[in-house]
Chains A and B, each alone.
Chain A
């Protein structure tokens, strides 16, 4: 019963995501414009980065200026993931060693 409910809920979420991906609606579209169903949304985000990134950050490498400046939260996440991975490795191997010492005694 619970599995069936879970399946239905996941299918509903999948349906919503698929609908939104093919029909983005009017979000981010300039006023007065309307997108037909299935038409990809036009954005000027990439043009903005290419034309203003060098002026605003001073970096020649647009990728670095996006990763470390415009989308810095992303990089915080990556750094935290690495930190957590190191923590996990340390905890796992330390635990292993302690258990073996106990078995030896």
Chain B
């Protein structure tokens, strides 16, 4: 556990790291970035909490089962979104230009960047973001377990 200054700053910054990560995930089809990068940024928030706070507290706040569930759900959503378009082909973009959600039409050229476009891409970005967040978070928690055991052995 770090000092009180670090803990206060960590709990303050955690919110903004999460918001920035979800921003990267949600704007993956408009700006640089996407599911992988945004998920990694969100997992960085977990790493920050793990560094700043007590190990037992972190294990109580962030459950490993929730993260593994997030990983599974993300991968399943990704595969199902790809499978729905299998009438035309695997990974067919069945939502683009359809007028439904994320289905706004875009013509070739410069535009301000509408969020309601790109069909299945935002859905897949979100799925991959959730998956990467869960996967990296689980890895961090596993390593944290191991670090704690080593410290117990040394003392």
Contacts and interface: CB of A to CB of B under 8 A. Distances in A.
B125 interface: yes
Contacts of B145: 93, 97
Contacts of A60: 29-30, 106, 111, 113, 117
Interface in B72-90: 75, 78-79, 82, 90
Given A68-B124, A76-B82, A57 B118 contact: yes
Contact of B142 (A52, A65, A68, A89): A89
A80 B32 CA distance: 23
A85 interface: yes
Interface string B118-138: 111100110010011001001
A7 interface: no
B28 A64 contact: yes
A54 B29 contact: no
A75 to B, nearest CB: 7
A72 B106 CA distance: 21
Interface string A9-37: 00000000000000000000000000000
Contact of B149 (A51, A54, A100): A100
A42 to B, nearest CB: 23
A57 B96 contact: yes
A85 B91 contact: no
Given A59-B117, A85-B135, A86-B71, A64 B34 contact: yes
A61 interface: yes
A52 B106 CA distance: 11
Contact of A59 (B118, B128, B143): B118
Nearest to A91: B142
A48 interface: no
A71 B15 CA distance: 34
A51 B91 contact: no
Contacts of B113: 60
Interface of A: 51-52, 54-61, 63-65, 67-69, 72-73, 75-76, 78-80, 82-83, 85-86, 89-90, 93, 96-97, 100
6 contacts: A56-B96, A60-B30, A60-B113, A64-B125, A68-B34, A69-B91
